Chain A
């Protein structure tokens, strides 16, 4: 505890602090005489109130009370009203459900990591296949990378490529290929 947060001492006595907050407050109370005294005072108030709970019972009997309510309901038979449902604010909900939330978040992160690990890379965005550099040493030949809409195909266009003796041999092979 950075300072003597006496509100937290009250919450500690009520058993409303959880986790790190509880640990820190307990630790502080153990070492701070002022806050330890405050803790005991809160406990004392709680014990005193608990020792004298109000003894309350309606003087109307159950049947009589119900008959009064029933009569009033029947008098306003078709009247309806809207009463909002009591709910916690988002921050309070997160605080109350933080254990479950932590479990769910950890589980989701684990699933995500597993999915990433198992997934084959399928990058197909712009520039997925890119020609960094191209050249040709054959005279009068030009090699040009072509840009297209397809990101996963790159084309190099080599023009002016003349016959070479090896290509002559290949032509012969072509001619002999069965169609």
Chain B
């Protein structure tokens, strides 16, 4: 009976980070290039709302499973990387330490708490009239 209770309690309370993964996407926000990538359909509304640009293109993306304490490197192309270190979490929010690099330059460092299907959007460097945006989310 006790082992059943242990299993049930573990399922109820354990953060599914061990089955969860983090996805990072590098996005170009522009008013000039004519269309938004279909792969960004889930966040294009949010992007338009937050940043005001009409069109969004995904420049690169990577997804890796989360392992508490293990630093993950997500290569997004264009010489951008994101380093993600999941911190121990026992609630439904996953705490992540993020470092966004452009080449060897650390652009921004942050600690965020993210829930499944929630998004962190980082307005990054300007390139001409366009912006580079980083989108990070946790998925199951």
- Residue pair B107, A152 in contact (C-beta under 8 Å): no
Residue numbers in A under 8 Å from B95 (CB-CB) = 132
Chain A contacts with B in 118-160, Cβ cutoff 8 A: 120-124, 128-138, 143, 145-146, 148, 150-159
Task: Point out the residue from A113, A153, A171, A179 that lies within 8 Å of B121, measured CB to CB.
Answer: A153
Q: Which single residue of chain A is at the shortest CB-CB distance from B43?
A: A153
- Chain A at the B interface: mostly helix, strand, loop or mixed? mixed
Q: How far is the CB of A44 from chain B (nearest CB, A)?
A: 46
A63 to B16, CA, bound (A): 79
Q: Is the CB of B119 within 8 A of A129?
A: yes
Number of interface residues of A (CB under 8 A): 47
Q: When A and B form their complex, what is the total count of cross-chain residue pairs whose Cβ atoms lie within 8 Å?
A: 144
Task: In the complex, identify which listed stretch (A10-18, A35-43, A99-107, A161-169) lies at the interface while the others stay far away.
Answer: A161-169
A137 near B124: Cβ-Cβ < 8 Å: no
Chain A residue nearest to B125 in the complex (CB): A161
Which A-chain residue is minimally distant from B101 (CB atoms)?
A166
Report A141 CB to chain B, min CB distance, Å.
8
Among A120, A128, A155, point to the contact of B123 (Cβ < 8 A).
A155
A24 at the interface (CB under 8 A from B): no
Set A124, A131, A157, A164: member contacting B120, Cβ < 8 A: A131
Q: Tell me, yes or no, whether A49 is within 8 Å of chain B by CB.
A: no
**By the criterion CB–CB under 8 Å, are A170 and B115 in contact?**
no
Q: In whole angstroms, what is the CA distance A177 to B59 when docked?
A: 10
A93 within 8 A of B: no
Contacts A/B (CB < 8 Å), 28 sampled: A120-B116, A121-B116, A123-B93, A130-B112, A131-B112, A135-B110, A138-B107, A145-B110, A150-B46, A153-B120, A154-B114, A154-B120, A155-B120, A155-B121, A158-B108, A161-B107, A161-B124, A161-B125, A164-B102, A167-B127, A169-B78, A169-B79, A170-B79, A170-B102, A171-B128, A174-B127, A174-B128, A177-B28
B residues with CB within 8 A of A:
8, 11-12, 16, 28, 32-34, 46, 49-50, 57, 78-80, 92-93, 95, 102-128, 130, 132, 140
Q: Ordered nearest first, which 6 A-B pairs have the shortest CB separation?
A: A166-B103, A129-B118, A134-B110, A121-B92, A152-B118, A132-B111
